[in-house]
Amino acid sequence: MGAEAILSRLAEHGLKLAVKRGQLFAEPKSLLNDETRALIREHKPEILAALAREAEDLREHFEERAGILEHDGGLPKPEAELEAARITSTYARNQGYLWESLRAAMSEYPALASQLPAKPLYP
């Protein structure tokens, strides 16, 4: 089973994984059991890589949209970044990316990251 399939399976059961300062965290911890711990431990490198790929893809998507909106669309930078964040969150949902990947991608933009809801507005 690949990392994306594992992440999807865990998310279906309400367990979310996130990377914080290079460490893998699971929330809520109450959903962890020996089986899921073993699965995560066995595939940890692939899971970390998958989460990093999602976050990087979203970061690139955001930066490209923000640049287009600012330079080609003529929006002031703060407005361009806000609209790019909205577009990128829709892209993340449509790609089936984990919300935590979007939050990780936006971590370099604290003012925008603080505006992201704790979970997606639409499933």
pLDDT for the residue numbered 25? 85
User: Could you tell me if 103 and 113 are in contact, meaning their C-beta atoms sit under 8 angstroms apart?
Assistant: yes
Rounded CA gap, 83 and 75, in Å?
A: 10
Residues of the chain with pLDDT under 50: none
Whole-angstrom CA distances from 36 to 11, 79, 110 are: 12, 42, 32
Phi/psi at 122 (nearest 5 deg)?
-125, 135
> Closest Cα partner for 28 from 122, 93, 119?
119
Render pLDDT for 66-78 as a digit per residue (tens, 0 to 9).
999 999 999 999 9
pLDDT of residue 76: 97
Helix (H, G, I), strand (E, B) or coil at 20: strand
The position carrying tokens 């577009």 is: 87
Determine the pLDDT at residue 122: 59
Would the pTM count as exceeding 0.75? Answer: no
